[in-house]
């Protein structure tokens, strides 16, 4: 789904057929992963070496990207922002949620990797606050695209997670057969709303990666697997 049609950005969520696994830490040969990146860059029309990806650590840390960042120096963080043109930002996922941010007025962008930890510590708010502070963004001008991730149908969590977070996020849990299932998507939408992002400015793909492994990588459904990506660039 690509609801938004902006002239000055390029954005895309990849699937398995976009050059397969993009992550260096999942056991694939480095040369094979590099080849996948080269293929993807060619297919989507950007320069591979200018792309900035992340060493993702399930934090809520945001890194501000400038011309010094490039493909071979991924910062350790879970979100990136920039107002520089022609620097594609990439978030990699397999069940966690990839989120893309675009301020159409200030011409600034951001990407975030929202796993459970990053979501519980409100990484989307950190991205939006950083865009406000760094680029003068106003929330009413920010558009958000939420990519596919594991759904509440498949994302079972332990009772300890339910116990420790039910006060804050009770609305996001489903209990079926005495098992606890969590909707990260519901939390993200709620957090975006709290930040003041307009509903019409949010695109929500909402496909469960674990139910759709023919198209997406799913850590839960497959164990050792690859990563697909959300990519966003200012043109
Ligand atoms: Zn599912």
For the chain, what is the domain count? 1
Residue 92 alpha carbon to ligand 1 centre in Å? 19
Q: Does residue 164 belong to any structural domain of this protein?
A: no
The CATH number covering residue 223 comes to: 3.60.140.10
pLDDT average per 10 residues of sequence, the chain (235 residues)? 78 81 86 90 92 96 96 96 97 95 96 97 98 98 96 97 95 97 98 97 94 89 87 95
Q: Does residue 59 belong to any structural domain of this protein?
A: yes
Q: Which residues surround ligand 1, an ion (CB under 5 A)?
A: 151, 153-154, 208, 210-211
pLDDT reported for residue 19: 61
Residue 185 alpha carbon to ligand 1 centre in Å? 12
Residue 218 alpha carbon to ligand 1 centre in Å? 10
pLDDT reported for residue 1: 46
Q: How many residues does the chain have?
A: 235
Residue 226 alpha carbon to ligand 1 centre in Å? 18
Residue matched to tokens 């992002």: 197
Residue 150 alpha carbon to ligand 1 centre in Å? 6
pLDDT reported for residue 102: 97
Q: Does residue 65 belong to any structural domain of this protein?
A: yes
The Cα diameter of the chain in Å comes to: 52
Residue 45 alpha carbon to ligand 1 centre in Å? 32
What's the domain range around 213? 9-154+198-234
Q: Does residue 3 belong to any structural domain of this protein?
A: no
Q: Which two tokens stand for residue 25?
A: 């830490």
Contacts of 157 (CB under 8 A, 6+ apart): 116, 180, 181, 182
Question: How far apart (Å, rounded) are the C-alpha atoms in residues 143 and 234?
Answer: 14
User: Are 65 and 52 in contact, with CB atoms under 8 Å apart?
Assistant: yes
Residue 210 alpha carbon to ligand 1 centre in Å? 5
Residue in 59, 216, 43 with CA at minimum distance from that of residue 51: 43
Residue 180 alpha carbon to ligand 1 centre in Å? 14
Cβ count near 224 (within 10 Å): 8
Residue 220 alpha carbon to ligand 1 centre in Å? 10
Q: Does residue 166 belong to any structural domain of this protein?
A: no
Q: Which two tokens stand for residue 37?
A: 């990146």
**Helical residues (DSSP H) of the chain, grouped into ranges:** 30-44, 116-120, 123-135, 159-169, 184-195, 219-222
Residue 7 alpha carbon to ligand 1 centre in Å? 34
Q: Does residue 190 belong to any structural domain of this protein?
A: no
Residue 149 alpha carbon to ligand 1 centre in Å? 9
Q: Does residue 27 belong to any structural domain of this protein?
A: yes
Q: Does residue 191 belong to any structural domain of this protein?
A: no
């Amino acid at each position: 789904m690509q609801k938004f049609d902006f002239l000055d950005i390029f954005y895309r969520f990849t699937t398995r057929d976009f050059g397969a696994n993009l992550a260096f830490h999942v056991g694939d040969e480095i040369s094979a992963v590099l080849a996948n990146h080269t293929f993807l860059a060619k297919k989507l029309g950007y320069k591979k070496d200018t792309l900035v990806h992340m060493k993702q650590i399930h934090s809520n840390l945001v890194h501000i990207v400038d011309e010094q960042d490039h493909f071979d120096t991924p910062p350790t963080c879970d979100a990136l922002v920039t107002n520089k043109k022609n620097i594609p930002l990439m978030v990699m996922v397999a069940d966690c949620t990839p989120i893309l941010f675009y301020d159409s007025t200030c011409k600034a962008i951001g990407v975030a990797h929202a796993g459970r930890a990053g979501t519980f510590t409100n990484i989307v708010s950190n991205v939006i606050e950083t865009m406000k502070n760094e680029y003068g963004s106003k929330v009413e001008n920010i558009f958000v695209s939420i990519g596919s991730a594991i759904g509440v149908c498949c994302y079972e969590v332990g009772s300890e997670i339910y116990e420790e977070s039910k006060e804050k996020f009770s609305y996001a849990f489903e209990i079926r057969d005495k098992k606890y299932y969590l909707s990260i998507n519901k939390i993200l939408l709620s957090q975006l709303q709290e930040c003041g992002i307009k509903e019409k400015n949010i695109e929500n793909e909402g496909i469960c990666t674990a139910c759709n492994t023919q198209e997406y990588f799913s850590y839960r459904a497959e164990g050792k697997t690859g990563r697909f990506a959300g990519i966003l660039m200012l043109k």
